[in-house]
Chains A and B, each alone.
Chain A
Amino acid sequence: MANHSASHPAHVQHHFVDSDQQFDSAKLGMWVFLVNEILFFGGLFCAYIIFRAWYPELFTQAALQLDKVWGGVNTIVLIGSSLTVAMAIRSAQRNEIKGLRINLMITILLACVFLVIKYFEYEHKLHLGIAPGFFWNPAPEVTATLDHPQANIFFSIYYMMTGIHGLHVLVGIGLMIWLYIRAGKGHFSAEYYTPVEITGLYWHLVDLIWIFLFPLLYLIE
């Protein structure tokens, strides 16, 4: 436990002794929150495992409806954005605010590319009547290759998993726009970049979850 320090910089909230304590607390808090997120998605992964064990042939058939190429592109896009967010944190640590803003902007753009590709994937499927729940109304060219009474369950899981993941991407974009604006106002420096650091942690998790979703949904045979 650190001593009461003589100076209390403006960014340190009143209940912290110093900047280090605030930084460590924020980081620990974020890690605990990430554990939360893993358990949250854990429920979905569990449902996936159960239903895949119940209907193995359904999963291999239905996965053919998903576009491996665009899924693969999206994976590369997200991994790239993880790199740029890490570079943003490094820029902040080196007090290079311009580099921080550029890297944040690239990350935001990559995240948007991910969502645009995702949008076209969804759009294509909904067009073919591959929709969750009682909107399920597959077109003849779908039923030709996918003939299974429980086919809609696979896509329910698909939409839940990718939908909630997409929501997390959206939240990440919002956070990074907020960081971008604050960086422009000169709020961050090598002394204080806590929000950049913990948003980066969050973004890595969003990326990591996609790395599990992609093979589980797209690449099964």
Chain B
Amino acid sequence: MAITEAKKMTTLQVKRFKPSENPTNTFLTDEKGVWAWMTTVDHKKIGIMYLVAVAFFFALAGFLAIALRTELWTPAKTFIEADTYNQLFTLHGAMMVFFVLVPSIPAALGNFILPMQLGAKDVAFPRLNLASLYIYVAGAIFTFAALASGGFDTGWTFYTPYSSDGNGAGVIWVTLGVFILGFSSILTGTNFITTIHKLRAPGITWDRLPLNIWALYATSIIQVLATPVLAITILLLSFENIMDIGIFDPALGGDPVLFQHFFWFYSHPAVYIMIVPGFGIISEVISTFSKKTVFGYWAIALSSLAIAFIGFLVWGHHMFTSGQSAVATTVFSFLTFLVGIPTGIKIFNWIATLYRGSIDMKTPMLYVFIFLFLFSIGGFTGIMLGALSVDIHLHDTYYVVAHFHYVMMGGTLIALLAGLHYWWPKMTGKMYNEKLAQISAVLIFIGFNMTFLPQFIMGAQGMPRRYYNYIDQFTPFHQTSTIGSYILGVAFLIILYYLVKSLFSGEKAPSNPWNSRGLEWQSTSPPDFHNFDHTPVVINGPYDYHKPMEEFQLGLAVSHEGHDAEHAPAEVDTTEEKA
């Protein structure tokens, strides 16, 4: 009914709403107290709680990584037992993938930013959003239960028969934890798809969606289509463990390769769940700090969807040595090369955006350059691993470890850091120490390359992954890598220090410190409880830096009580604007 009314109405009465620089009411001042936070359905608070949880798991899994690198300082035992080592690398991988990388950008930053970029008051299903946070916590509790019941040492991939030969309750607990966690991911994806379709503010047509939204949209599609397959896989695995149903265990007539197919049908698309939202952040930051329209808007937007689509067809490249048919491996190898195309499209469009831009090397932009460098290396080595003959040699070596860390840490985590520094003033209302931020960004770049470049060389020379001991010739590489990991650790501690410090003694952030045209910056810092105290109206694209700022601060002049034409200074004909 209301929709037909809106169609009849050709003009919207709008006026300019300049965001206040001294907001008295923000989402942080409304609904105070622990209980209010724990029961809130506000997407901003939920996003921040997710951020804290993700940071906690990142610190924990990062600490494990440092312990692993320390153990690898010498070729033989340095300070922990081989069994402990196996458990630690499994835990590091499982936590980083399922508790950090998957929820990091969509559930933490995405939750906060997505409704604001759409001019909505909240996501479509706020209570499901809160539920997803608690489901995440429940999944975490299961993982700790797994540790308490003796740990697990299957590697993060939980391959059968490692995970099904009855090596303890730990595997059952942790896989059930991942099963539960999957629902949190599914709920976030469902919420985002619905919000993007149904809750856009007046004027936000599909060609005015920020690229961050396109990226989150593609991510949500993957989450919704892939995660349930992981859920059923884990359910089958659990029943295999609990009552020997014989689906995956070869001793009972089952098929362990079927587990690998099921697992990678989720877990390969899952790496795109991790990286595609990072692409969204890079698009936002690169445009804001180049003061320039993004080059190739549609190319970047649609390449996200292309990655989501092709990403579903390449899972077999994890199984080149698992006894797949030669035809299947050839097809999977070819399809793997195809994923490089949309990714390359993005990289070239970002670089074209930089061209003749007015580049401002603030911390978020620094991270974008680090991303472009590291992610390109990660991407190219991925193409090498997708090549059949090369992969037979490099399979299960440190080369794979290095490649994965270059795309996941050099890609996703660096993009997360870019986004965190970019939106920090909006989220907290405080500015961080720019100098310390830049120093730590440089330290991360140095530490990261020291840690993982040697691993490419070691891997190419045949050092297998997941090994506790190694032969003497790899010592210098391992030791460089270990020192690099310490530098990374220090850099992250500096980041933690200045971000926490900014909360207490940081300079007050203006509403739009980077002069961005993005809709999320046209609110107060930190935002109002309802994001905007008006209904935003959008008449330009999100990256139209050639248009004046006031055109990006429009809102409906109509109040909830009805039309009030006298106080509406501007009239915008929406049908005309679209042309």
Set of chain B residues within 8 Å of A4, measured between Cβ atoms: 535, 556, 558, 560
Indicate if the CB atoms of B239 and A43 lie closer than 8 Å: no
Indicate if the CB atoms of B194 and A32 lie closer than 8 Å: yes
Set of chain B residues within 8 Å of A160, measured between Cβ atoms: 235-236, 239, 245
A18 and B125 CA atoms in complex are apart in Å by: 15
Indicate if the CB atoms of B121 and A43 lie closer than 8 Å: no
Within 8 A of A (CB), among B104-131: 120-126
Contacting residue for B2 out of A5, A15, A32, A153, CB 8 A: A5
A159 and B363 CA atoms in complex are apart in Å by: 56
- Write the nearest CB–CB distance from A189 to chain B, whole angstroms: 14
B390 at the interface (CB under 8 A from A): no
Answer whether A39 and B229 are a contact pair too, CB < 8 Å, given A32-B224, A47-B258: yes
Indicate if the CB atoms of B225 and A133 lie closer than 8 Å: no
Indicate if the CB atoms of B239 and A132 lie closer than 8 Å: yes
Indicate if the CB atoms of B124 and A1 lie closer than 8 Å: no
Indicate if the CB atoms of A149 and B253 lie closer than 8 Å: yes
Set of chain B residues within 8 Å of A6, measured between Cβ atoms: 560-562
Most buried by A among B1, B124, B561: B124
Set of chain B residues within 8 Å of A29, measured between Cβ atoms: 124-125, 190-191, 193-194
Set of chain A residues within 8 Å of B253, measured between Cβ atoms: 149-150, 153
Indicate if the CB atoms of A2 and B199 lie closer than 8 Å: no
B231 at the interface (CB under 8 A from A): yes
Contacting residue for A20 out of B3, B9, B189, B197, CB 8 A: B3
Answer whether A134 and B244 are a contact pair too, CB < 8 Å, given A3-B12, A33-B190, A36-B186: yes
Indicate if the CB atoms of A44 and B190 lie closer than 8 Å: no
Within 8 A of A (CB), among B179-221: 186, 189-191, 193-195, 197-204
Shortest Cβ distance from A154 into B: residue: B246
A41 at the interface (CB under 8 A from B): yes
A143 at the interface (CB under 8 A from B): no
Question: How many chain B residues touch A (Cβ–Cβ < 8 Å)?
Answer: 60
B6 at the interface (CB under 8 A from A): yes
A144 at the interface (CB under 8 A from B): no
A20 and B9 CA atoms in complex are apart in Å by: 17
Indicate if the CB atoms of A47 and B190 lie closer than 8 Å: no
Contacting residue for A25 out of B198, B262, B561, B562, CB 8 A: B198
Indicate if the CB atoms of B6 and A40 lie closer than 8 Å: no
A36 and B229 CA atoms in complex are apart in Å by: 9
B5 at the interface (CB under 8 A from A): yes
A156 and B194 CA atoms in complex are apart in Å by: 37
Question: How many chain A residues touch B (Cβ–Cβ < 8 Å)?
Answer: 49
Indicate if the CB atoms of B201 and A133 lie closer than 8 Å: no
Indicate if the CB atoms of B262 and A43 lie closer than 8 Å: yes
A21 at the interface (CB under 8 A from B): yes
Indicate if the CB atoms of B556 and A21 lie closer than 8 Å: no
A215 at the interface (CB under 8 A from B): no
A109 at the interface (CB under 8 A from B): no
A37 at the interface (CB under 8 A from B): yes
Within 8 A of B (CB), among A62-112: none
B247 at the interface (CB under 8 A from A): yes
Within 8 A of A (CB), among B466-519: none
Indicate if the CB atoms of B193 and A32 lie closer than 8 Å: yes
- Write the nearest CB–CB distance from A188 to chain B, whole angstroms: 18
- Write the nearest CB–CB distance from A4 to chain B, whole angstroms: 6
Indicate if the CB atoms of A1 and B6 lie closer than 8 Å: yes
A8 and B561 CA atoms in complex are apart in Å by: 10
Set of chain B residues within 8 Å of A50, measured between Cβ atoms: 255, 258
B254 at the interface (CB under 8 A from A): yes
Indicate if the CB atoms of A20 and B2 lie closer than 8 Å: yes
Indicate if the CB atoms of A43 and B193 lie closer than 8 Å: no
A35 at the interface (CB under 8 A from B): yes
- Write the nearest CB–CB distance from A206 to chain B, whole angstroms: 15
Shortest Cβ distance from A1 into B: residue: B202
Indicate if the CB atoms of A36 and B224 lie closer than 8 Å: yes
Not counting A1-B202, A4-B560, A153-B254, a sample of 20 additional A-B residue pairs whose C-beta atoms are within 8 angstroms of each other reads A1-B200, A1-B203, A5-B2, A15-B123, A21-B198, A25-B194, A25-B195, A25-B199, A29-B125, A29-B191, A32-B224, A35-B224, A36-B190, A36-B224, A37-B228, A40-B232, A42-B229, A43-B232, A43-B233, A156-B246
11 A-B contacts (beta carbon < 8 Å): A15-B123, A24-B198, A28-B198, A29-B190, A32-B189, A40-B228, A42-B229, A42-B232, A51-B247, A51-B255, A54-B255
Residues on A lying within 8 angstroms of B by beta carbon are: 1-6, 8, 13-21, 24-25, 28-29, 32-33, 35-37, 39-44, 46-47, 50-51, 54, 132-135, 149-150, 152-153, 156-157, 159-160, 164
Residues on B lying within 8 angstroms of A by beta carbon are: 1-3, 5-6, 9, 12, 120-126, 186, 189-191, 193-195, 197-204, 224-229, 231-233, 235-236, 239, 242-247, 252-255, 258, 262, 530, 535, 556, 558, 560-562
The 5 closest A-B pairs by CB, nearest first: A133-B243, A43-B232, A156-B245, A40-B228, A15-B121
